[in-house]
Amino acid sequence: MAVPAFVETATELLPAQFGAWFASKGWAPRPHQIELLAKAEAGRSVLLIAPTGAGKTLAGFLPSLVDLSRQGLERRPPKPGEPVLGPHTLYVSPLKALAVDIQRNLEMPVGEMGLPIRLETRTGDTPVYKRQRQKLDPPDILLTTPEQVALLIASKDARRFFGRLRTVIFDELHSLVVSKRGDLLSLGLARLRTLSPGLRTIGLSATVAEPDDLCAWLVAQEAGEARRLADRIVVEGGAAPELSILQSEDRVPWQGHTARYALPEVYEAIHAHRTTLLFVNTRWQAELLFQELWRINEETLPIALHHGSLDRSQRRKVEAAMAAGELRAVVATSTLDLGIDWGDVDLVIHVGAPKGASRLAQRIGRANHRMDEPSKGMLVPSNRFEVLECRAALDANYLGHQDTPPLRPGALDVLCQHILGMAVAEPFDA
């Protein structure tokens, strides 16, 4: 039998310890992971579009891990007067929780392969002393958020800090670029290209309606010239999700957003599954649903709460407990709806209308985070009008419709903010 071409390419591109690690797990690198590695090693910027569970994260980091392993850099605190090497790779996430989760998932292969690579997160939750230490002794791979990128490039030592930067990875790119956060990040990326010429970018995204827009966002554009595009890799397939709308024995109310009528059925669904994620649209709904579930929780199932207003330590405690499989359910807002990989989650319940087919697909994808297993989700309308919204979102999902907002012209107030940051870093004459 002929050996597939991508297997031969993998043998050529992957160092021995990577091949041994894949073999020890009974795995083989997937074709799109090797293709992305080959393109990145050729200096190309790449957009990877793949369904949930396709190994996007490992594909995105593989070029950096391979490059760093070949360099064989042993990290150590710098000696007095010695130049400090900045990060090799910058990973940008739309969510703090996602950055923490990715670090946790990456540390396993890095440790098992014995790679001399240090990974750290830098978000608004990172203590000040750690952020200061990271500037003096940066990690090889820094996992952060758009806001922290803006602060880092506005610092006076930005040119030194980013002088070694080789790769920027944008996770859930489709959700990053459609808001003012995306505008600020786009300006920051342009600045990073100035600080580190030859920078390559890698975008990881779910299916989108206009992938060329994301490909163009990843590479530098020149006024008056044809639009440049990053290389695109598209992974097809993935099991279709299993979605349903709750059929409650109680009458759905005409108004309200609490879904109290459905609490018995929701609790029963939690009881019948290993781990359930319950998404709501507001923090107020999250607090109320959490309290109501505990009111009827006669078996004292471990049910937790997660939203942006909770103390950092509380959020990290919930995330760690979920990763360890210690919880039966978590009530959450948008703080957990992108990319989080908790293998024990086998049901997602969305209380209230999801406000879009793409958002529903993203949240439902947290269940059975594997490419060959269907994600299982249940919609719970809060009132009768939301029954129609839930039905429309469910039908759109089955038809594969995408309603992610298109890219729009950058906001001028964001440009002003960026210019101010550049002036703080390095004064200039305009």
The structural domains of the chain, ordered by start, are 5-237 (3.40.50.300), 242-398 (3.40.50.300)
How far from each other are the two terminal CA atoms of the chain, in whole angstroms? 65
Contacts of 197 (CB under 8 A, 6+ apart): none
Euclidean distance between CA atoms 359 and 402, whole angstroms: 9
72: left (phi over 0), alpha (psi -120 to 50) or beta: left
Sign of the four-CA dihedral 37, 141, 216, 43: negative
254 contacts 263 by C-beta, under 8 angstroms: no
Give the residue ranges of DSSP H helices in 280-409: 283-295, 312-323, 357-364, 384-398
Burial of 397 per CB tally in 10 Å (0-12, 13-18, 19+) = buried
Euclidean distance between CA atoms 60 and 42, whole angstroms: 15
167-170/89-92 β-pairing: parallel
- Half-sphere exposure for 144 (CA within 13 Å, toward CB): 22
Euclidean distance between CA atoms 289 and 291, whole angstroms: 5
119-122/167-170 β-pairing: unpaired
Strand order across the beta sheet in which 242-245 lies: 242-245, 376-380, 345-351, 275-279, 329-332, 303-306
**Token code pair at residue 262:** 């459905």
> In Å, how far are 245, 355, 361, 402 from 396, measured between CA atoms?
14, 12, 10, 8
pTM (2 decimals)?
A: 0.85
Rg (CA), the chain: 23
Burial of 227 per CB tally in 10 Å (0-12, 13-18, 19+) = exposed
Per-residue pLDDT of the chain (430 residues; tens, 9 = 90+): 343 454 456 667 888 899 899 899 888 899 999 999 999 999 999 999 988 777 888 999 999 999 999 887 555 556 666 667 789 999 999 888 889 889 988 999 999 999 989 999 999 888 899 999 998 889 999 999 999 999 999 998 899 899 899 999 999 898 888 889 999 999 999 999 999 998 999 999 877 778 899 999 999 888 778 888 999 999 887 778 888 888 877 788 787 778 888 899 999 999 999 999 999 988 999 999 999 999 999 999 999 999 988 888 898 899 889 888 899 999 998 888 776 777 688 899 999 888 877 788 888 877 776 767 788 899 998 888 888 888 888 888 777 777 777 778 888 999 999 999 989 888 877 6
Euclidean distance between CA atoms 367 and 357, whole angstroms: 16
Euclidean distance between CA atoms 17 and 34, whole angstroms: 15
For the residues of 85-145, what is the DSSP string, one character each? P--SEEEE-S-HHHHHHHHHHHHHHHHHTT----EEEESTTS-HHHHHHHHHS--SEEEE-
